[in-house]
Structure 1
Amino acid sequence: MERHAGFYERYIKRMFDILCSLFVIIIFCWLYVIIAAMVRIKLGSPVLFQQPRPGKDEKIFKMYKFRTMTDKKDAYGNLLPDEARLTEFGKTLRNTSMDELPEAFNILKGEMSFIGPRPLLVRDMVFMTDKQRQRHNVRPGLSGLAQVNGRNAIDWERKLDYDLEYIKDITFLGDMKIILKTLSKAIIKQEGITEEGMATAEDYGDYLLNKRLVDKEEYEIKQAKARKLLALVDL
Protein backbone atom coordinates (compact mmCIF):
# COMPACT_ATOMS: atom_id res chain seq x y z
CA MET A 1 0.00 0.00 0.00
CA GLU A 2 1.43 3.32 -1.10
CA ARG A 3 0.99 6.21 1.28
CA HIS A 4 1.98 9.84 1.24
CA ALA A 5 2.54 11.65 4.52
CA GLY A 6 0.84 15.03 4.40
CA PHE A 7 1.96 18.32 5.95
CA TYR A 8 0.19 17.63 9.24
CA GLU A 9 1.76 14.21 9.68
CA ARG A 10 5.25 15.38 8.71
CA TYR A 11 5.47 18.69 10.58
CA ILE A 12 2.58 19.15 13.04
CA LYS A 13 1.58 15.80 14.53
CA ARG A 14 4.80 15.22 16.50
CA MET A 15 4.80 18.79 17.85
CA PHE A 16 1.17 18.34 18.89
CA ASP A 17 2.06 15.10 20.68
CA ILE A 18 4.91 16.74 22.61
CA LEU A 19 2.85 19.72 23.74
CA CYS A 20 -0.20 17.63 24.69
CA SER A 21 1.78 14.96 26.54
CA LEU A 22 3.56 17.65 28.55
CA PHE A 23 0.19 19.26 29.29
CA VAL A 24 -1.31 15.95 30.47
CA ILE A 25 1.69 15.09 32.66
CA ILE A 26 1.85 18.54 34.29
CA ILE A 27 -1.88 19.19 34.72
CA PHE A 28 -2.69 15.68 35.94
CA CYS A 29 0.43 15.06 38.03
CA TRP A 30 -1.81 14.94 41.11
CA LEU A 31 -3.89 12.17 39.48
CA TYR A 32 -0.77 10.17 38.66
CA VAL A 33 0.23 10.34 42.33
CA ILE A 34 -3.22 9.31 43.60
CA ILE A 35 -3.56 6.38 41.18
CA ALA A 36 -0.01 5.22 41.87
CA ALA A 37 -0.68 5.26 45.62
CA MET A 38 -3.96 3.34 45.22
CA VAL A 39 -2.32 0.76 42.95
CA ARG A 40 0.46 0.29 45.51
CA ILE A 41 -2.06 -0.19 48.34
CA LYS A 42 -4.57 -2.38 46.50
CA LEU A 43 -2.36 -4.36 44.12
CA GLY A 44 1.15 -4.05 45.51
CA SER A 45 4.31 -3.27 43.60
CA PRO A 46 5.47 -2.59 41.01
CA VAL A 47 2.97 0.19 40.35
CA LEU A 48 3.70 0.26 36.63
CA PHE A 49 3.12 -2.57 34.20
CA GLN A 50 5.79 -2.51 31.50
CA GLN A 51 5.59 -4.59 28.36
CA PRO A 52 7.55 -4.75 25.08
CA ARG A 53 5.50 -3.64 22.07
CA PRO A 54 6.40 -3.13 18.40
CA GLY A 55 6.38 0.53 17.47
CA LYS A 56 7.17 2.52 14.34
CA ASP A 57 9.16 0.48 11.82
CA GLU A 58 8.62 -2.47 14.17
CA LYS A 59 11.18 -1.16 16.64
CA ILE A 60 10.31 -2.71 20.00
CA PHE A 61 9.85 -0.34 22.94
CA LYS A 62 8.65 -0.67 26.51
CA MET A 63 5.07 0.57 26.95
CA TYR A 64 3.95 1.82 30.37
CA LYS A 65 0.60 1.30 32.06
CA PHE A 66 -0.69 1.39 35.60
CA ARG A 67 -0.94 -2.12 36.96
CA THR A 68 -4.44 -3.61 37.05
CA MET A 69 -3.89 -7.21 38.16
CA THR A 70 -2.48 -8.97 41.21
CA ASP A 71 0.32 -11.56 41.22
CA LYS A 72 -1.83 -14.35 42.67
CA LYS A 73 -0.46 -17.81 41.93
CA ASP A 74 -1.69 -21.37 42.23
CA ALA A 75 -0.24 -24.04 44.52
CA TYR A 76 2.46 -24.78 41.93
CA GLY A 77 3.66 -21.17 41.69
CA ASN A 78 1.98 -20.45 38.35
CA LEU A 79 0.09 -17.21 37.83
CA LEU A 80 -3.67 -17.60 37.98
CA PRO A 81 -5.73 -16.76 34.85
CA ASP A 82 -6.20 -13.05 34.11
CA GLU A 83 -9.85 -13.06 35.17
CA ALA A 84 -8.82 -14.33 38.62
CA ARG A 85 -6.18 -11.64 39.04
CA LEU A 86 -8.16 -8.67 37.69
CA THR A 87 -9.73 -6.87 40.67
CA GLU A 88 -12.71 -4.51 40.70
CA PHE A 89 -10.27 -1.63 41.16
CA GLY A 90 -8.33 -2.86 38.13
CA LYS A 91 -11.54 -3.08 36.09
CA THR A 92 -12.35 0.52 36.99
CA LEU A 93 -8.93 1.67 35.82
CA ARG A 94 -9.42 -0.17 32.55
CA ASN A 95 -13.00 0.93 31.94
CA THR A 96 -12.05 4.58 32.39
CA SER A 97 -8.73 4.06 30.54
CA MET A 98 -6.89 5.61 33.48
CA ASP A 99 -4.48 2.69 33.40
CA GLU A 100 -3.27 4.18 30.08
CA LEU A 101 -2.15 7.50 31.62
CA PRO A 102 1.57 6.52 31.88
CA GLU A 103 1.63 6.19 28.09
CA ALA A 104 1.89 9.97 28.01
CA PHE A 105 5.57 9.41 28.80
CA ASN A 106 5.86 7.04 25.80
CA ILE A 107 4.34 9.80 23.69
CA LEU A 108 6.74 12.40 25.05
CA LYS A 109 9.68 10.11 24.27
CA GLY A 110 8.53 9.73 20.67
CA GLU A 111 7.68 6.03 20.96
CA MET A 112 3.95 6.64 20.59
CA SER A 113 1.46 9.23 19.38
CA PHE A 114 -1.88 10.24 20.85
CA ILE A 115 -3.64 8.84 17.80
CA GLY A 116 -2.50 5.87 15.72
CA PRO A 117 -2.84 2.08 15.52
CA ARG A 118 -2.72 0.63 19.04
CA PRO A 119 0.64 -0.99 19.89
CA LEU A 120 -0.03 -4.71 19.95
CA LEU A 121 2.10 -7.57 21.21
CA VAL A 122 5.12 -8.98 19.39
CA ARG A 123 3.34 -12.33 19.37
CA ASP A 124 0.45 -10.63 17.55
CA MET A 125 2.73 -8.98 15.00
CA VAL A 126 4.33 -12.22 13.79
CA PHE A 127 0.93 -13.55 12.72
CA MET A 128 0.08 -10.51 10.59
CA THR A 129 0.33 -10.48 6.81
CA ASP A 130 2.80 -8.14 5.13
CA LYS A 131 -0.09 -5.80 4.35
CA GLN A 132 -1.33 -5.78 7.93
CA ARG A 133 2.18 -5.07 9.20
CA GLN A 134 2.13 -1.79 7.29
CA ARG A 135 0.31 -0.44 10.35
CA HIS A 136 3.82 -0.17 11.84
CA ASN A 137 4.82 2.46 9.27
CA VAL A 138 3.58 5.09 11.73
CA ARG A 139 3.89 5.60 15.48
CA PRO A 140 1.38 3.55 17.48
CA GLY A 141 -1.29 5.50 19.32
CA LEU A 142 -2.89 5.83 22.73
CA SER A 143 -6.16 5.49 20.82
CA GLY A 144 -7.05 4.87 17.22
CA LEU A 145 -9.76 4.36 14.64
CA ALA A 146 -10.37 0.76 15.75
CA GLN A 147 -10.71 1.82 19.40
CA VAL A 148 -13.56 4.24 18.65
CA ASN A 149 -15.31 1.74 16.39
CA GLY A 150 -15.75 -1.16 18.75
CA ARG A 151 -12.36 -1.66 20.39
CA ASN A 152 -11.98 -5.38 21.13
CA ALA A 153 -15.65 -6.08 20.45
CA ILE A 154 -14.81 -6.27 16.73
CA ASP A 155 -12.89 -9.16 15.21
CA TRP A 156 -9.18 -9.03 14.49
CA GLU A 157 -9.54 -8.62 10.72
CA ARG A 158 -11.79 -5.59 11.07
CA LYS A 159 -9.53 -4.11 13.74
CA LEU A 160 -6.48 -4.36 11.50
CA ASP A 161 -8.48 -3.02 8.54
CA TYR A 162 -9.28 0.09 10.60
CA ASP A 163 -5.55 0.53 11.28
CA LEU A 164 -4.76 0.41 7.57
CA GLU A 165 -7.66 2.76 6.83
CA TYR A 166 -6.27 5.27 9.34
CA ILE A 167 -2.73 5.37 7.95
CA LYS A 168 -4.00 6.03 4.40
CA ASP A 169 -4.85 9.62 5.25
CA ILE A 170 -3.69 11.05 8.58
CA THR A 171 -5.18 14.51 9.13
CA PHE A 172 -5.57 16.94 12.02
CA LEU A 173 -9.37 16.88 11.72
CA GLY A 174 -9.40 13.09 11.67
CA ASP A 175 -7.22 12.91 14.80
CA MET A 176 -9.43 15.43 16.60
CA LYS A 177 -12.54 13.37 15.84
CA ILE A 178 -10.89 10.24 17.25
CA ILE A 179 -9.76 12.11 20.39
CA LEU A 180 -13.30 13.38 21.05
CA LYS A 181 -14.82 9.93 20.45
CA THR A 182 -12.20 8.38 22.75
CA LEU A 183 -13.04 10.78 25.57
CA SER A 184 -16.74 10.07 25.13
CA LYS A 185 -16.33 6.30 25.17
CA ALA A 186 -13.69 6.02 27.90
CA ILE A 187 -14.80 8.73 30.33
CA ILE A 188 -18.51 9.33 29.75
CA LYS A 189 -19.68 5.86 28.68
CA GLN A 190 -16.86 4.01 30.47
CA GLU A 191 -16.71 1.32 27.80
CA GLY A 192 -14.30 -1.46 28.67
CA ILE A 193 -11.45 -2.48 26.40
CA THR A 194 -11.79 -6.21 26.94
CA GLU A 195 -13.81 -8.75 25.01
CA GLU A 196 -17.11 -9.99 26.35
CA GLY A 197 -16.49 -12.77 28.84
CA MET A 198 -12.74 -12.23 28.85
CA ALA A 199 -10.48 -10.29 31.21
CA THR A 200 -8.03 -9.49 28.43
CA ALA A 201 -8.19 -9.50 24.66
CA GLU A 202 -7.48 -12.71 22.77
CA ASP A 203 -4.07 -12.83 21.09
CA TYR A 204 -4.14 -12.71 17.29
CA GLY A 205 -2.38 -16.07 17.03
CA ASP A 206 -4.90 -17.70 19.39
CA TYR A 207 -7.73 -16.14 17.38
CA LEU A 208 -6.36 -17.55 14.11
CA LEU A 209 -5.78 -20.97 15.70
CA ASN A 210 -9.28 -21.11 17.17
CA LYS A 211 -10.73 -20.09 13.80
CA ARG A 212 -8.56 -22.79 12.16
CA LEU A 213 -6.93 -20.17 9.95
CA VAL A 214 -3.51 -21.49 11.00
CA ASP A 215 -2.56 -25.00 12.04
CA LYS A 216 -0.83 -25.97 15.27
CA GLU A 217 2.58 -26.31 13.58
CA GLU A 218 2.49 -22.82 12.05
CA TYR A 219 1.19 -21.46 15.35
CA GLU A 220 4.14 -22.89 17.30
CA ILE A 221 6.68 -21.71 14.69
CA LYS A 222 5.44 -18.13 14.86
CA GLN A 223 5.24 -18.14 18.64
CA ALA A 224 8.88 -19.25 18.69
CA LYS A 225 9.72 -16.43 16.28
CA ALA A 226 8.09 -13.92 18.66
CA ARG A 227 10.09 -15.24 21.60
CA LYS A 228 13.29 -14.99 19.55
CA LEU A 229 12.56 -11.37 18.60
CA LEU A 230 11.98 -10.49 22.26
CA ALA A 231 15.18 -12.24 23.32
CA LEU A 232 17.15 -10.03 20.93
CA VAL A 233 15.78 -6.82 22.46
CA ASP A 234 17.62 -5.08 25.30
CA LEU A 235 15.10 -2.85 27.08
Structure 2
Amino acid sequence: MIRRVLDTAAVLVLLPLAVPLALVTAGIVALGLGRPILFRQHRAGRRGSVFLLWKFRTMTPPRSPDRALADDAVRTPAAGRWLRRLRLDELPQLFNVLKGDMALIGPRPLLPSTVAGMGFAGTTRALVRPGLTGWSQVNGNTLLSDAEKLKLDLWYVRNRSPMVDIEIIVRTLGVVALGERRGSLVTEGGHAGNRRRRG
Protein backbone atom coordinates (compact mmCIF):
# COMPACT_ATOMS: atom_id res chain seq x y z
CA MET A 1 0.00 0.00 0.00
CA ILE A 2 2.84 2.38 0.84
CA ARG A 3 4.48 1.73 -2.53
CA ARG A 4 1.17 2.34 -4.28
CA VAL A 5 0.73 5.70 -2.52
CA LEU A 6 4.30 6.72 -3.34
CA ASP A 7 3.88 5.72 -7.00
CA THR A 8 0.68 7.74 -7.30
CA ALA A 9 2.24 10.78 -5.64
CA ALA A 10 5.32 10.58 -7.87
CA VAL A 11 3.22 10.38 -11.05
CA LEU A 12 1.12 13.39 -10.00
CA VAL A 13 4.32 15.35 -9.43
CA LEU A 14 5.71 14.28 -12.82
CA LEU A 15 2.55 15.05 -14.82
CA PRO A 16 3.26 18.80 -15.37
CA LEU A 17 6.50 17.78 -17.10
CA ALA A 18 5.18 14.58 -18.69
CA VAL A 19 2.14 16.12 -20.43
CA PRO A 20 4.12 18.61 -22.58
CA LEU A 21 6.66 15.87 -23.40
CA ALA A 22 3.81 13.55 -24.35
CA LEU A 23 2.33 16.16 -26.71
CA VAL A 24 5.70 16.67 -28.41
CA THR A 25 6.19 12.90 -28.66
CA ALA A 26 2.72 12.48 -30.17
CA GLY A 27 3.66 15.04 -32.82
CA ILE A 28 6.89 13.20 -33.61
CA VAL A 29 5.03 9.91 -33.97
CA ALA A 30 2.37 11.48 -36.19
CA LEU A 31 4.98 13.01 -38.49
CA GLY A 32 7.49 10.17 -38.45
CA LEU A 33 5.28 7.08 -38.37
CA GLY A 34 1.76 8.27 -39.05
CA ARG A 35 -1.35 6.95 -37.36
CA PRO A 36 -2.27 5.40 -35.04
CA ILE A 37 -0.15 7.37 -32.58
CA LEU A 38 -0.66 4.98 -29.68
CA PHE A 39 0.09 1.28 -29.44
CA ARG A 40 -1.97 -0.82 -27.05
CA GLN A 41 -1.66 -4.44 -26.05
CA HIS A 42 -2.78 -6.71 -23.24
CA ARG A 43 0.02 -7.47 -20.79
CA ALA A 44 0.37 -9.56 -17.65
CA GLY A 45 0.04 -7.69 -14.36
CA ARG A 46 0.37 -8.58 -10.71
CA ARG A 47 -0.75 -12.07 -9.67
CA GLY A 48 -1.91 -13.08 -13.13
CA SER A 49 -4.17 -10.11 -13.82
CA VAL A 50 -4.30 -8.79 -17.39
CA PHE A 51 -4.37 -5.10 -18.26
CA LEU A 52 -4.27 -2.92 -21.36
CA LEU A 53 -0.87 -1.27 -21.75
CA TRP A 54 -0.46 1.97 -23.69
CA LYS A 55 2.68 3.22 -25.43
CA PHE A 56 3.54 5.64 -28.18
CA ARG A 57 4.02 3.68 -31.40
CA THR A 58 7.64 3.27 -32.46
CA MET A 59 7.27 0.71 -35.25
CA THR A 60 5.56 0.59 -38.61
CA PRO A 61 3.01 -2.18 -39.38
CA PRO A 62 4.43 -5.74 -39.39
CA ARG A 63 3.68 -6.20 -43.06
CA SER A 64 4.68 -4.05 -46.01
CA PRO A 65 2.13 -2.96 -48.65
CA ASP A 66 2.91 -6.13 -50.63
CA ARG A 67 1.96 -8.17 -47.49
CA ALA A 68 5.54 -9.35 -46.88
CA LEU A 69 6.46 -9.77 -43.21
CA ALA A 70 9.06 -7.15 -42.27
CA ASP A 71 11.92 -7.52 -39.80
CA ASP A 72 11.67 -5.54 -36.54
CA ALA A 73 14.81 -3.54 -37.37
CA VAL A 74 13.29 -2.47 -40.68
CA ARG A 75 10.03 -1.58 -38.96
CA THR A 76 11.71 0.77 -36.48
CA PRO A 77 12.63 4.08 -38.15
CA ALA A 78 15.07 6.60 -36.68
CA ALA A 79 12.29 8.46 -34.88
CA GLY A 80 11.14 5.25 -33.21
CA ARG A 81 14.67 4.33 -32.15
CA TRP A 82 15.20 7.72 -30.52
CA LEU A 83 11.89 7.59 -28.70
CA ARG A 84 12.88 4.22 -27.26
CA ARG A 85 16.38 5.44 -26.47
CA LEU A 86 14.97 8.32 -24.41
CA ARG A 87 12.11 6.22 -22.99
CA LEU A 88 9.59 8.76 -24.32
CA ASP A 89 7.49 6.01 -25.88
CA GLU A 90 6.62 4.83 -22.36
CA LEU A 91 5.07 8.12 -21.18
CA PRO A 92 1.46 6.84 -21.59
CA GLN A 93 2.27 4.11 -19.06
CA LEU A 94 2.18 6.77 -16.35
CA PHE A 95 -1.60 6.41 -16.59
CA ASN A 96 -1.20 2.64 -16.15
CA VAL A 97 0.64 3.47 -12.94
CA LEU A 98 -2.15 5.82 -11.82
CA LYS A 99 -4.70 3.07 -12.48
CA GLY A 100 -2.70 0.61 -10.40
CA ASP A 101 -1.91 -1.74 -13.29
CA MET A 102 1.79 -0.94 -13.05
CA ALA A 103 4.35 0.49 -10.67
CA LEU A 104 7.15 2.93 -11.39
CA ILE A 105 9.67 0.18 -10.61
CA GLY A 106 9.24 -3.51 -11.34
CA PRO A 107 9.82 -6.19 -13.97
CA ARG A 108 9.05 -5.30 -17.57
CA PRO A 109 5.38 -5.90 -18.48
CA LEU A 110 5.22 -8.94 -20.74
CA LEU A 111 2.56 -10.76 -22.72
CA PRO A 112 0.38 -13.09 -20.60
CA SER A 113 1.45 -16.06 -22.72
CA THR A 114 5.12 -15.24 -22.15
CA VAL A 115 4.69 -15.09 -18.37
CA ALA A 116 2.60 -18.29 -18.37
CA GLY A 117 5.36 -20.05 -20.30
CA MET A 118 7.82 -19.30 -17.47
CA GLY A 119 5.97 -21.66 -15.14
CA PHE A 120 6.72 -21.22 -11.43
CA ALA A 121 9.29 -18.52 -12.22
CA GLY A 122 6.57 -16.54 -13.98
CA THR A 123 4.28 -16.89 -10.94
CA THR A 124 7.07 -15.62 -8.69
CA ARG A 125 7.85 -12.77 -11.07
CA ALA A 126 4.18 -11.74 -10.99
CA LEU A 127 4.18 -11.24 -7.21
CA VAL A 128 4.91 -7.57 -7.88
CA ARG A 129 3.43 -5.12 -10.36
CA PRO A 130 5.34 -4.66 -13.63
CA GLY A 131 7.19 -1.37 -13.81
CA LEU A 132 8.22 1.47 -16.08
CA THR A 133 11.80 0.65 -15.18
CA GLY A 134 13.41 -2.18 -13.29
CA TRP A 135 16.52 -4.13 -12.37
CA SER A 136 16.88 -5.96 -15.68
CA GLN A 137 16.07 -2.77 -17.62
CA VAL A 138 19.04 -0.93 -16.08
CA ASN A 139 21.46 -3.85 -16.38
CA GLY A 140 21.39 -4.26 -20.14
CA ASN A 141 17.73 -4.74 -21.11
CA THR A 142 17.85 -5.48 -24.85
CA LEU A 143 21.48 -6.61 -24.54
CA LEU A 144 20.48 -9.48 -22.24
CA SER A 145 19.12 -12.91 -23.02
CA ASP A 146 15.62 -13.80 -21.83
CA ALA A 147 17.14 -16.09 -19.19
CA GLU A 148 19.33 -13.29 -17.85
CA LYS A 149 16.39 -10.89 -17.71
CA LEU A 150 14.31 -13.43 -15.81
CA LYS A 151 17.11 -14.09 -13.32
CA LEU A 152 17.42 -10.36 -12.62
CA ASP A 153 13.65 -9.93 -12.34
CA LEU A 154 13.44 -12.75 -9.81
CA TRP A 155 16.30 -11.25 -7.84
CA TYR A 156 14.41 -7.96 -7.64
CA VAL A 157 11.19 -9.64 -6.48
CA ARG A 158 13.06 -11.37 -3.66
CA ASN A 159 15.28 -8.45 -2.66
CA ARG A 160 13.42 -5.25 -3.44
CA SER A 161 13.84 -2.45 -0.95
CA PRO A 162 13.82 1.37 -0.94
CA MET A 163 17.60 1.40 -1.46
CA VAL A 164 17.38 -0.94 -4.47
CA ASP A 165 14.60 1.21 -5.93
CA ILE A 166 16.69 4.35 -5.51
CA GLU A 167 19.60 2.61 -7.24
CA ILE A 168 17.31 1.66 -10.13
CA ILE A 169 16.09 5.25 -10.49
CA VAL A 170 19.67 6.56 -10.59
CA ARG A 171 20.68 3.91 -13.11
CA THR A 172 17.64 4.68 -15.25
CA LEU A 173 18.81 8.28 -15.59
CA GLY A 174 22.19 6.93 -16.65
CA VAL A 175 20.61 4.70 -19.29
CA VAL A 176 18.65 7.63 -20.71
CA ALA A 177 21.78 9.79 -20.81
CA LEU A 178 24.35 7.22 -21.96
CA GLY A 179 22.39 4.39 -23.51
CA GLU A 180 22.07 0.74 -22.53
CA ARG A 181 25.11 -1.08 -21.19
CA ARG A 182 25.38 -4.64 -20.02
CA GLY A 183 25.78 -4.63 -16.25
CA SER A 184 28.41 -6.54 -14.31
CA LEU A 185 26.04 -9.37 -13.51
CA VAL A 186 26.64 -11.64 -10.55
CA THR A 187 25.57 -15.05 -11.81
CA GLU A 188 23.92 -16.24 -8.62
CA GLY A 189 23.08 -13.06 -6.72
CA GLY A 190 22.04 -10.86 -9.60
CA HIS A 191 23.33 -7.81 -7.78
CA ALA A 192 26.25 -5.95 -9.28
CA GLY A 193 28.35 -3.97 -6.88
CA ASN A 194 27.50 -5.93 -3.72
CA ARG A 195 29.94 -8.62 -2.64
CA ARG A 196 27.53 -10.07 -0.11
CA ARG A 197 24.88 -12.18 -1.78
CA ARG A 198 21.36 -11.18 -0.86
CA GLY A 199 18.48 -13.60 -1.15
TM-score (ref. length: structure 2): 0.84
In 1, the alpha carbon distance for the partners of 2:121 and 2:19 equals 40
1:109 corresponds in structure 2 to: 99
What is the CA distance between 1:192 and its match in structure 2?
8.4
- Structure 1, residues 114-169: CA drift from partner, whole Å, max 9, x if none? 11111112231232021343110111111111111121212222211111111113
Say whether residues 1:42 and 2:32 are aligned partners.
yes
What is the CA distance between 1:48 and its match in structure 2?
0.8
2:169 corresponds in structure 1 to: 179
The one-letter amino acid paired with 2:178 is K
2:44 corresponds in structure 1 to: 54
Q: Give the number of aligned pairs.
A: 182
Contact 2:33-2:58 within 8 A present in 1 as well: yes
Which 4+ residue blocks in structure 1 deviate beyond 4 angstroms?
A: none
1:67 corresponds in structure 2 to: 57
What is the CA distance between 1:104 and its match in structure 2?
0.6
Pair 1:119–1:23, CA change in 2 (3 A): same
Counterpart of 2:178 (choices 189, 201, 212) is: 189
Q: How does 1:33-182 map to 2 (within 5 A)?
A: 33-71=23-61, 73-74=63-64, 76-182=66-172
In 2, the alpha carbon distance for the partners of 1:44 and 1:150 equals 30
Larger radius of gyration, structure 1 or 2?
A: 1
What is the CA distance between 1:24 and its match in structure 2?
1.9
1:215 corresponds in structure 2 to: none
Give unmatched runs, 5+ long, in structure 2: 183-199
In 2, the alpha carbon distance for the partners of 1:14 and 1:89 equals 33
Contact 1:53-1:62 within 8 A present in 2 as well: yes
Mean alpha-carbon deviation: is it higher for 59-68 or for 25-34? 25-34
TM-score (ref. length: structure 1): 0.72
In 2, the alpha carbon distance for the partners of 1:68 and 1:46 equals 10
Give unmatched runs, 5+ long, in structure 1: 1-10, 194-235
Helix, strand or coil at the partner of 1:178: helix
Pair 1:109–1:78, CA change in 2 (3 A): farther
Counterpart of 1:29 (choices 13, 19, 40) is: 19
Pair 1:175–1:42, CA change in 2 (3 A): same
In 2, the alpha carbon distance for the partners of 1:75 and 1:99 equals 25
> Once superposed, what is the RMSD of the aligned Cα atoms?
1.9
In 1, the alpha carbon distance for the partners of 2:181 and 2:174 equals 12
In 1, the alpha carbon distance for the partners of 2:110 and 2:101 equals 13
In 1, the alpha carbon distance for the partners of 2:172 and 2:119 equals 28
